[in-house]
Structure 1
Amino acid sequence: MDHNNSDLFQLLGAGGGGGYYPAAAMLMMDHHQHQVSSDDNMSAIETEASHHHQQQDRALAALRNHKEAEKRRRERINSHLARLRTLLPCNSKTDKASLLAKVVQRVKELKQQTSEIITEFETLPSETDEISVLSTADGGHGGLIFKASLCCEDRSDLIPELIEILKSLHLKTLRAEMATLGGRTRNVLVVAADKEHNSIESIHFLQNSLRSLLERSGSADRSKRRRAMDRRFTPASS
């Protein structure tokens, strides 16, 4: 019991014989309640201060994490930019905007080269005999443009026969590509029909003509292979 409470209790006992003093008792109760209230307020203030410090600590930790993450991100970007500078014709002083412009230009060039390689690969002959005829565009003035492809065994009379077919169908050759590989050939023709013979039926005529050419080519190849086999297995005369 503190000194103030001791004085109050002495005041209560001052009446001799343990007399009852309501005013003194009320005074002591008020003092006790005030002390309890002060203690509660101090506890609340300390709790709030502790919570505030915890919030500050969390905010500082989050800020440090953000700064570290941002630093790592910048380091990755600078590393990639440095790598790009070694791959492109530029020096270490090239600014980021100029460097990115060079990257865009290089990507466009690579895409064009890839497209050309794919086109060239598609032109190479396959192991399967095949034909295709597609209408690609309107050549103007009502004229149709076809793209025809023929893949078969290579033979010397193939091109002359192709030329005769185009002449008979009144088709004008706009572009021609030919690729040979391993005794096989692929011919890709872009042709246009003239006004007088311009019709969608020209596609069917061209398909049928190329199919007949392909069948003749296949028959000639089979005959050639049979003759080669016959020479191989015919015993020599004594």
Structure 2
Amino acid sequence: MQPENSSGMSEIYRILTHTGMPRANGPEIPTFFPTSFCASDMSGITELPQARALAAKNHKEAEKRRRERIKGHLDELRRLLPCNSKTDKASLLAKVVQRVRDLKQQTSDIAGSDIFPSETDEISVFSDEFSSDGRSIFKASVCCEDRSDLLPDLIETLNSLHLRTLKAEMAMVGGRVRNVLVVAGDRDFNGDDCTDLLRDALKALVERSDSSDRCKRQRIFDRRTMK
């Protein structure tokens, strides 16, 4: 004889093991009973906020370093330009733009001038103007190999001709030098003859320089040969 509740237990067992539950006047409603749960299924959900937080932290640190670099460059510009530490960024950048324009103009002026030395020896002398007291003004250019006693010899040459230096420019590149001089003579030192005299004196100076260099190179060669 079965217990009175055996039919009830059978119904519960059928509900638990069946793929669906009975529904009055309608189809069965499927029910699912998961048998296992994997913790890794939630890893993507937990890692996403952490990745966002790390990216936000890295961006904040990179932005901080960028601001520090900008501040360092601005401070350096304030030291280079005639302005104080309280100069605002807009005024500072305006000064920088103006300074760059000035330097660009100076570079253009230098590039267009004949101050740089050439690869060959050159001597030019001409006179086309006079001072207020009637003295002739000469412009002379001397390009040659550089040597230690060139400038003293040049000064001695001008003094021997009683010429007074009004302006002097010098440029040196790769062991060669060019001297551009503006000189004035006394009242008697004028005319084409004086121009030729100054040119010949400067030519002798350059030739003496070349001779000195040749002797120096010959001495170096002799010492190496003797070794």
TM-score calculated relative to the size of structure 1: 0.49
Q: Distance in 1 between matches of 2:182 and 2:221?
A: 38
CA contact (8 A) 2:136 2:189 kept: no
Q: Distance in 2 between matches of 1:170 and 1:211?
A: 17
Go from structure 1 to structure 2 and tell me whether the alpha carbon gap of 1:222 and 1:142 turns closer, same or farther (over 3 Å shift).
same
Q: Distance in 2 between matches of 1:124 and 1:182?
A: 11
User: What amino acid does structure 2 have at the position aligned with 1:211?
Assistant: K
Q: CA RMSD in A?
A: 2.7
User: What amino acid does structure 1 have at the position aligned with 2:165?
Assistant: T
User: Which aligned runs of 4 or more in structure 1 are off by greater than 4 angstroms?
Assistant: 106-113
Name the structure 1 match of 2:142: 150
Larger CA deviation: 185-194 vs 223-232:
223-232
Which of 137, 141, 148 aligns to 2:129? It is: 137
User: What amino acid does structure 1 have at the position aligned with 2:122?
Assistant: E
1:205 shift after superposition: 0.8
Is structure 2 residue 194 aligned with structure 1 residue 202? yes
Larger CA deviation: 151-160 vs 135-144:
135-144
Go from structure 1 to structure 2 and tell me whether the alpha carbon gap of 1:137 and 1:230 turns closer, same or farther (over 3 Å shift).
same
Q: 1:198 is paired with a residue of what secondary structure?
A: coil
User: What amino acid does structure 2 have at the position aligned with 1:118?
Assistant: G
Go from structure 1 to structure 2 and tell me whether the alpha carbon gap of 1:234 and 1:177 turns closer, same or farther (over 3 Å shift).
same
Go from structure 1 to structure 2 and tell me whether the alpha carbon gap of 1:111 and 1:181 turns closer, same or farther (over 3 Å shift).
closer
Which structure has the highest helix share of the two?
1
Q: Gaps (5+ residues) in structure 1?
A: 1-88, 90-105
Residues 176-228 of structure 1 deviation map (CA, whole Å, 9 limit, x = unaligned): 01112222211110111122333332111100101111111111111111112
Q: Distance in 2 between matches of 1:199 and 1:134?
A: 10
User: What amino acid does structure 2 have at the position aligned with 1:117?
Assistant: A
Which of 212, 216, 219 aligns to 1:227? It is: 219
Q: Distance in 2 between matches of 1:198 and 1:173?
A: 15
| Counterparts of residues 178-193 of structure 1 (less than 5 Å) | 178-193=170-185
Identity of aligned residues (%): 52
Is structure 2 residue 107 aligned with structure 1 residue 127? no
Name the structure 1 match of 2:159: 167
CA contact (8 A) 2:117 2:176 kept: yes
Residues 16-73 of structure 1 deviation map (CA, whole Å, 9 limit, x = unaligned): xxxxxxxxxxxxxxxxxxxxxxxxxxxxxxxxxxxxxxxxxxxxxxxxxxxxxxxxxx
Q: Distance in 1 between matches of 2:102 and 2:147?
A: 40
Q: Distance in 2 between matches of 1:218 and 1:232?
A: 21
Name the structure 2 match of 1:27: none
1:110 shift after superposition: 6.1
Q: Distance in 2 between matches of 1:107 and 1:159?
A: 35
Residues 141-187 of structure 1 deviation map (CA, whole Å, 9 limit, x = unaligned): 32211111111111121111111111121111010011122222111
